[in-house]
Amino acid sequence: MYQVEVRQGNRLEKYRVPVGYNLFRLLKEKGFYMDSLCSGRGFCGKCKVRIVKGDTTASQCSPDEAGHLSFIERKEGIRLACRVQVNEDLAVEIPESSQRDAVILTEGESDVALNPRVVKRYVELPKPSLDDQSSDVDRLEKALDASGRLHATVIKGLPQTLRANDFKVTAVLFDQDIIAVEGGDTSDAKYGVAVDIGTTTMVGFLMDLATGQQLDVYSAINPQRQHGADVITRIDFTLENQNGLEVLSGLVRDEINSMLRAFCQRWNIRSDMIYHMTVVGNTIMMHLFAGLPVKNIAVSPFIPVIARSLELEPWQVGINMCPSGRITILPMVAGYVGADTIAAIMASGMVERDELALLIDIGTNGEIALGNREGIITCSTAAGPAFEGAHIRYGMGGVKGAISRVRIAGDGIRYDTIGGQPPRGICGSGIVDAIAQMLKAGIVEATGRMKNSEEAKVELSDGLASRVKELDGKPAFLIASKEEGALDDIYICQKDVREVQLAKAAIASGIHILMREMGVRYEDIQKVYLAGGFGNYIDYDHAADIGLIPSQLRSKIVAIGNAAGTGAKMALLSKGYMEMAEFIRHKTSYIELSSRPDFQSAFVDFISF
Amino acid sequence: MYQVEVRQGNRLEKYRVPVGYNLFRLLKEKGFYMDSLCSGRGFCGKCKVRIVKGDTTASQCSPDEAGHLSFIERKEGIRLACRVQVNEDLAVEIPESSQRDAVILTEGESDVALNPRVVKRYVELPKPSLDDQSSDVDRLEKALDASGRLHATVIKGLPQTLRANDFKVTAVLFDQDIIAVEGGDTSDAKYGVAVDIGTTTMVGFLMDLATGQQLDVYSAINPQRQHGADVITRIDFTLENQNGLEVLSGLVRDEINSMLRAFCQRWNIRSDMIYHMTVVGNTIMMHLFAGLPVKNIAVSPFIPVIARSLELEPWQVGINMCPSGRITILPMVAGYVGADTIAAIMASGMVERDELALLIDIGTNGEIALGNREGIITCSTAAGPAFEGAHIRYGMGGVKGAISRVRIAGDGIRYDTIGGQPPRGICGSGIVDAIAQMLKAGIVEATGRMKNSEEAKVELSDGLASRVKELDGKPAFLIASKEEGALDDIYICQKDVREVQLAKAAIASGIHILMREMGVRYEDIQKVYLAGGFGNYIDYDHAADIGLIPSQLRSKIVAIGNAAGTGAKMALLSKGYMEMAEFIRHKTSYIELSSRPDFQSAFVDFISF
């Protein structure tokens, strides 16, 4: 056990924590307010703390972490709390700057306070007698002054719970319904889970609904991936296999149950004390989770079964939480603009403001939204998962060992990997960097054609020319080699460049069409929200250099991290945000790009760098 | 096939029906309005028709049926439609008098028309296109202008139902919820079932919710009976056997499923077109059906788990009907005054009137209600099932072969049996007759003591004296003997007289306490509603003679048949009556007799004849 002393403003506290305990987790648990968009995953760079005592800790900064800190900050012992494990006695200060810009609950512009749909009420009921022969249910409902639905399983257990606890119980209400009755006063134990089901990755957040604190995060690869990397392949799987829909539903539900099991074990809570779950993701993921057929989303006119929010009871989808609790799937816009986009729009706050904003969520698909409080238009581009490292020869996700930064300096190449480990592959931000730098160095032409080794020898420095090789008869550029310590020779090849061209052209064309549809110019757009972990990692200049984001908007970019997950948490923590999600759905319209000839021509315009 | 010509007022119709078809059923099916309280079971004597052509039929009247008809009616060929099987060509007239006094829907005093909670709406939806990419659910909800819950299974089947039926579908709404979506226009096919679960017998009614017509009746012995004849024994069974509650729940649910199967087969309807079920019965039967523990009802202060109405989805109780339909258990008053009493109060109409009325429901227990629109007080008496023939040495239910009428005339005995068959035992109305006549003849003394054969020889005529025998060392009076054609020698014995004394004293004391509680006298009571099949059978004079009903109220008796079942049907056919059932619950209070010393002393006062 080590001692950690924490100061925030006038508050000074001391804690004893186990060896290796995460500092961010400690601060969140103890109710210190710190801004965080990525929930302690090291993406957003917002949870800055000053290490006042603890020299080793102050200097242990990894290259990735350092990317979030200025030179002066590093000298002053500033670190990201989420990257600090307690391995000595520490004294820590939370600077004022880390308390600004909170997205959840404390944002100045929003008046929605912690107000979850789950409410716990401790009541001491009058005991039955010959003078008061009211039924158990009447007795409870009278004390609560409640009149909603009462689940049959709750009614069944009521007599025993009342009598084993001297008629002192805690009722759990979801809106007006009594969903559980627990013996004694349990009003402090109230949990919810927000889940973001991505096509590639899933993230879940365990939230304490009594305090609004985020307790834990769980992330995993979406196990449906074994049946297809993108949504279309998954839809095909449900069509080609008799039980395909059930198989895909089962996989994602099992993973969510694993998540809940992990949360319950780590935090020593009973699964039936998780009363509410909010779920976001693209429309196909939402359908598969709910067990709804996706067939008609795949073919024109691309009709989903449901777009409004859907409330399920856990038994309906086989989720192991409070049996009469609720699972809320957030509303969707259309077949290819889902609950994740509505959640991201909500998290960005763009629908609450007058200023015109553009939101770009680059995941396995690229969803784009443009608008303000007057209304929002959205579209989806088949950007493909290039920026998640898929369909890229040496691509990989943003995990340890991935090359996340690339610089071509003079004759050679420098790169950083996540976790500072030997390179195993290259992730989205590394790909953007590499291609932008290859363009600048003349290795890639504006058309996307890569120079071959003959041309390279003539036009490039020897150092760079020696890295231009050939793979499958096409040019390929060596980013990292085994000789230099990589686990494999890692190339960017011609096909990778083409993939990135297709992806960036799709996104740029989508932005173009939305702007044309709304009749606005670049100077009208005041903010560009980049959602998704990718948005926190990439070099904005490089993204503009390759044309992923119009260079006119370069200076307006704000990375908002896993905004879909943030939106799911907001809906979990506050009824008001759940209503706002429905409001956003009604304010938001969808532009079907596939039906527009002007999209095709824009795409051609944007295909070159 | 025979031809049946039916005339009602100006309406004249001809039908061809199979041999042996029931006339009542035909008339109900074809939409002729006839009053019926017992739903064609021969109890209420209300479905009178005149046989204009068909001499054999006109004269085939059984003694029981004849009891409902005057001498002149019989001469004029009047019969009860429910007792007529078509075995020749017939011409039938429905006299105007058979259309009066309807309890359901047409009663002058009630303004509640056919208005079931289940509504069907046929809609033709606009088809999806690239210009209208609304989700299937949005498309449907917009057309219906509905915004209630949509069951997950309904959502799942929606895409297929819409597309297989050219987007022309019928939505089934239960209140605001969409519980099913069917292809094409099915708005005429809308069924519900009302069930009365008695401790001894169960009755179910198949109702056409589109027309309000009763289509069919199903009755059966409550299969729980194998685990105890009365509610206390059943409660004990749940306490003494680990799965006792599940066993009893399962038995009654299985029987209801058999009922539904029978209805569906006979009427060729799909089980998923039965959308709503209303259920009444005493509080213990309601708890066992819902699977709720009954332990606390058995011991002071006799607390039920629930008294308000309870809405269940069919899967929760394993009932095979529309999977997202509803089962409504009507509200109860207390542990021993159940949904059957509330339903009977509703069917009697007493809560809607100024006149003070007394309602007596003599079944396995005896529930009594006293009041008017100002309020109602109720009690339950442990009358025991003597009037259902139980605990009576030669007792039996009101089925074929039961002695249902007894007269002691001069030196001998005359009796009628149900169905005119050789006697097998004696049912409730026969027991009341027998004891009343034995009292009058001096065979039973006012204290309930029976004369022994020595005394009989001195005081009675030779014919009667010869019938006084001895069983188990106590006097017994021979009602029917094998020599006279009975299947067994059938006696009323001393113990039977004591059982009847206990039962009638309990009911009379209950009436007395309610009247004292309300501060009213016999002359203040304007109607006495006798609910239960028993009430249609018994001789009111004899009931007064033995003190079952105070003689001062004799002239005010109105038999209302299976009023509990009628109430269940009313709640099924009209939302208004469902609301009225809750209204009655709030207007009704319960007097616990077991806690009152004045009940004990009244009981002693009433024990003698």
Decide which of B129, B152, B183 is a domain's last residue.
B183
Instruction: Between B522 and B19, name the one with better pLDDT.
Output: B522
Give a yes or no: residue B586 inside a domain: yes
Determine how many CB atoms are found less than 10 A away from the CB of residue B355. Answer: 11
CATH number at residue B235: 3.30.420.480
Chain B partners within 8 Å of A141 (Cβ): 308
Banded pLDDT at A47 (limits 50, 70, 90):
confident
Mean pLDDT of B126-147: 92
Residue A524 Cα, gap to closest chain B Cα (Å): 28
Place of tokens 């004694």: A184
Calpha distance B469→B478 (Å, rounded) = 7
| Same domain, residue pair A323 and A210 | yes
Question: Is A101 a residue whose pLDDT tops 60?
Answer: no
Residues B304 and B372 in one domain: no
Average pLDDT value for residue range B124-137 = 95
Q: What is the DSSP letter of A331?
A: P
Choose the closest CB to A306 out of B133, B135, B305.
B135
Segment A533-541 shows an average pLDDT of 80
Overall average pLDDT of the B113-126 stretch: 92
Lookup result for tokens 């002149």 = B72
What are the Cα distances from residue A290, in Å, to A364, A579, B150?
A: 20, 21, 13
In a domain, B315, yes or no: yes
Amino acid present at B168: K
What's the rounded Cα separation, in Å, for the pair B396 and B375?
A: 37
Tokens, residue A32 = 């210190």
Angle B438-B439-B445 from CA coordinates, rounded to 5°: 115
Residues B323 and B364 in one domain: no
Q: What phi and psi values does residue A276 have, to the nearest 5 degrees? A: -140, 140
Give per-residue pLDDT as tens, B252-294. 999 999 999 999 999 999 999 999 999 999 999 999 999 999 9
- A172 with A206, same domain: the answer is no
- pLDDT(A404) > 80: yes
Strand order in the sheet with A557-559: A557-559, A527-531, A357-362, A366-372, A375-381, A588-590
State the smallest CA–CA distance between residue B79 and chain A in angstroms: 48
CB–CB contacts below 8 A, A to B: 122
d(CA B152, CA B573): 27
On whether residue A92 sits in a domain, the answer given is yes
DSSP assigned state of A370: E
Q: Which residues of A touch B306 (CB under 8 A)?
A: 135-138, 155
- Output the pLDDT for position A74: 76
Most confident of the following: A39-53, A246-260, B388-402 = A246-260
Query: Is beta strand A48-53 parallel, antiparallel or unpaired with respect to A90-93?
Result: antiparallel
Q: Is residue B71 pLDDT above 90, yes or no?
A: no
As for how many domains chain A has, the answer is: 5
Residue A203 CA to residue B237 CA, distance in Å, equals 50
Same domain as B484, residue B420 = yes
Question: Cα separation of B521 and A141, whole Å?
Answer: 38
For range A26-53, the mean pLDDT: 76
In the sheet that A274-281 helps form, which strands lie side by side, from edge to edge? A214-221, A201-208, A191-197, A274-281, A326-329, A310-312
The residue of chain B nearest to residue A160, with distances taken between CA atoms, is B293
- Which amino acid does the sequence have at A516? R
pLDDT of A161 over the 60 cut: yes
- Asked if A314 and A325 count as a contact pair (C-beta separation under 8 A), the reply is yes
Question: Taking Cα atoms as reference points, which of A601, A201, A209, A537 lies closest to residue A385?
Answer: A201
- Residues A372 and A401 reside in one and the same domain: no
Q: What mean pLDDT comes out for the span A51-58?
A: 84
Q: Which residues of A touch B334 (CB under 8 A)?
A: 133, 135
pLDDT at B38 over 70: no
Could you read off the pLDDT of B299-309 as tens digits, one per residue?
999 999 999 99
Lowest mean pLDDT among A385-394, B219-228, B235-244, B425-434: A385-394
Residue A131 exposed, middle or buried by CB count within 10 Å (0-12, 13-18, 19+): exposed
Nearest CB neighbour to A306, from listed B155, B296, B310: B155
- What digits encode the pLDDT tens for the residues A209-219? 998 888 999 98
Mean predicted lDDT score pLDDT of chain B:
89
Domain boundary pick from A494, A518, A542: A494
pLDDT band for position B420 (cuts 50, 70, 90): confident
pTM of the model: 0.79
Q: Which residues of A touch B311 (CB under 8 A)?
A: 149
pLDDT band at A113 (very low <50, low <70, confident <90, very high): low
Asked if the structure places residue B248 within a domain, the reply is: yes
Neighbour order of strands in the sheet with B201-208: B214-221, B201-208, B191-197, B274-281, B326-329, B310-312
- Indicate which CATH number applies to the domain containing A152: 3.10.20.880
C-beta separation of B509 from B599 below 8 A: yes
Q: Could you report the per-residue pLDDT of A462-514, keeping only the tens digit for each?
A: 999 999 999 989 999 999 999 988 999 999 999 999 999 999 999 999 999 99
- Interface mutation target, options A303, A377, A592, chain B, most CBs of B under 10 Å: A303
Residue A357 sits in a domain whose CATH number is: 3.30.420.40
Burial of A109 (0-12, 13-18, 19+ CB in 10 A): exposed
Per the domain annotation, does A113 fall within a domain? no
Is the pLDDT at B63 greater than 90? The verdict is no
Question: Which positions in chain B touch A311 (Cβ < 8 Å)?
Answer: 149
User: How far apart (Å, rounded) are the C-alpha atoms in residues A358 and A531?
Assistant: 11
Question: Both tokens of residue A280?
Answer: 């976001």
The predicted model gives A122-138 an average pLDDT of 95
Q: How far is it, in rounded angstroms, from Cα B381 to Cα B592?
A: 9
Distance from CA of B336 to the nearest CA of A (A): 11
A307 and A419 co-located in one domain: no
Q: Note whether B370 and B514 are same-domain residues.
A: yes
Answer with the residue of higher pLDDT: B389 or A596. Answer: A596
Q: Which residues of A touch B300 (CB under 8 A)?
A: 130
Q: Is the peptide bond before A314 cis (omega within 30 degrees of 0)?
A: no
Question: Which residues does B contribute to its contact with A (CB < 8 Å)?
Answer: 128-130, 132-138, 141, 149, 152, 155-156, 158-160, 163, 290-293, 295-296, 300-308, 310-312, 316, 332, 334-335, 590, 592, 595
The CA-atom distances, in angstroms, between B20 and each of B48, B62, B510 are 19, 17, 46
The range of the structural domain enclosing residue B174 comes to: 118-183
Containing B217, the helix (H) or strand (E) segment is: strand B214-221
Angle at A359 between CA A353 and CA A361, to 5 degrees: 145
- pLDDT tens column, B361-410: 987 788 999 999 999 999 999 876 788 777 899 998 877 889 989 999 88
Q: Are residues B133 and A303, on separate chains, in Cβ contact within 8 Å?
A: yes
Looking at the fold, whether B461 and B362 belong to one and the same domain comes out as: no
Q: Give the CA angle between residues B178, B180, B186 to the nearest 5°.
A: 115
Q: Is residue B207 part of a domain?
A: yes
Residues B195 and B313 in one domain: yes
Q: What is the pLDDT of residues B447-499, one digit of tens each?
A: 999 999 999 999 999 999 999 999 989 999 999 999 988 999 999 999 999 99
Interface test with B, best of A127, A131, A133 (most B CBs within 10 A): A133
- Examine the pLDDT at B99 and tell me if it is beyond 60: no
Among the partner residues A133, A290, A595, nearest to B590 by beta-carbon distance: A133
Question: Quick one: A292 and A366 in the same domain?
Answer: no
Min Cα distance B126 → chain A (Å) is 13
For residue B596, what is the nearest residue in chain A, using CA coordinates?
Answer: A130
Question: For B439-504, what is the HEC assignment?
Answer: HHCCCECCCCCECCHHHHHHHCCHHHHCCEEEECCEEEEEEECHHHCCCCCEEEEHHHHHHHHHHH
Q: Could you tell me if A288 and A434 lie in one domain?
A: no
CB B133 to CB A592 under 8 A?
yes
CA dist., res. A438 & res. A406, Å (int): 10
Measured in angstroms, the CA of A305 and the nearest CA of chain B are apart by: 5
Is position B27 within any domain? Answer: yes
**Higher per-residue confidence, B513 vs B58:** B513
Q: Is B307's CB within 8 Å of A138's CB?
A: yes
Instruction: Look at residues B34, B41, B76 and name the one whose alpha carbon lies nearest to residue B58.
Output: B76
The CB-side HSE value for B394 (13 A sphere, CA atoms) comes to 27
Domain termination site, one of B494, B527, B550: B494
Residue A348 pLDDT grade (very low, low, confident, very high; cuts 50, 70, 90)? very high
Of A290, A296, A592, which has the smallest distance from its Cβ to B152's Cβ?
A: A290
Q: Please report, as a single letter, which amino acid is at residue A521.
A: R
The answer to whether residue B507 is domain-embedded is yes
- Per-residue confidence (pLDDT) for residue A57, from 0 to 100: 80
CA distance linking residue A477 with residue A470, whole number of Å: 8
